[in-house]
Structure 1
């Protein structure tokens, strides 16, 4: 809490944080300031930690990610793809189609590289080519095992 009058929303938020067993820190202000009264009350009566430098905040909050839930999710069929292949796949439309030059411009890759990647993706079943151009295959569950040229 940086500034809080004697009756403020910041005090309410600090009370909720304390009720949820979350750390509460306050930045000191002048004792003569009405905007600092709440901070001083939190430090004096409610056990808030006095924050005077960045290290105090780091100590209060813990190491980055220390309290975060571990990421969850299923493996993606795109896991392990090289950057160029991933960019070409992301540039491909799901419906309709696009010309190789459009895909190359969107992916930020040279046209010759884009054509090579499209050929590998075609042989892996990840893309299709039709009258409207290139697009991602409708089968999103295709396991991409792209041969490296």
Structure 2
């Protein structure tokens, strides 16, 4: 989805089906591995929250686990964005720059996380609109939100 938004920003028009297939073939495997990291860290953080809530000292650790899950999802979103913007760069460079901007520009990462979370929350309110228009709107906003990061980056 971010790849299609990138093409729309460059060309101002696109052939949706052909472009979707092209960007899907180009980025699906790397995007899957970037998301797999976030998913694993988020699941571990959620199960740790359920485990530590049973202890009196564990209730103080729950915000740490929520923050860890939020940072891992934001890290994956940044990895997607920087991979689409720099398709020739190596995965180590993408991981390094995404980690750097996840921590340095934490407010942008938090906004990206909230946008993605709002997509899942709106799914329960209006599922038909969320399935039809939600991903395009949310990932478009994430793309334009992260576009300013690209101006200051050296890859």
TM range (shorter): under 0.3
Which protein is richer in helix relative to its size?
A: 2
Tell me the TM-score normalized by structure 1: 0.18
Tell me the TM-score normalized by structure 2: 0.17
Which protein is richer in strand relative to its size?
A: 1
Identify which of structures 1 and 2 has the higher relative contact order when contacts are C-alpha pairs closer than 8 Å and 6+ apart. 2
Structure with max Cα Rg:
1
